[in-house]
Amino acid sequence: MKDALKEARRAAAEAEVPVGAVVVKDGRIIGRGRNQREKLRDPTAHAEMIALTQAAAAVGSWRLDGAAMFVTLEPCPMCAGALVNARMGRLVYGADDPKAGACGTLMDLVSDRRLNHRMPVTRGVLAAECGAVLREFFRARRGRREEE
């Protein structure tokens, strides 16, 4: 999760919403991502999607069974769906997302028995630190708008 936090801080430094993700398989990081929606002008450029793409390239397959994703914020429906489609082995996330969380908070796509794949989820890992990065980013953004 510490590596995912590094990616989140890099996103914040690039004026992106600070979410970071890493994919780990066999004890090594095979994919890294941070939000890049503004930079890439791409609504799908979430940290999880970028990390999944790198991980799939690293293993030479879209199937990531046996891998684990560590992400600083609970994945949204798009990202949760991508984790299911990638056959991710495990999800670990930091802060809950009450507005868009699709892994247990608002809905639970990754555990839905109607889908063809499910994965274990560990919630709240370094949650205070992950949440603080987000709060600090949005506090600074609100401050800039008030100055304008």
Which residues are known to be catalytic? 48
Sheet containing 20-25, strands listed edge to edge, beginning at the edge strand earlier in sequence: 28-34, 20-25, 68-73, 90-95, 121-122
Which is nearest to 47 in space by CA: 55, 36, 58? 36
- Token representation of residue 106: 């608002």
Give the sign of the dihedral formed by CA 14, CA 92, CA 23, CA 46: negative
What are the φ/ψ torsions at residue 83 (nearest 5 degrees)?
-65, -40
Residue 97, CA distances (Å) to 43, 49, 54, 104, 111 in order = 18, 17, 24, 9, 17
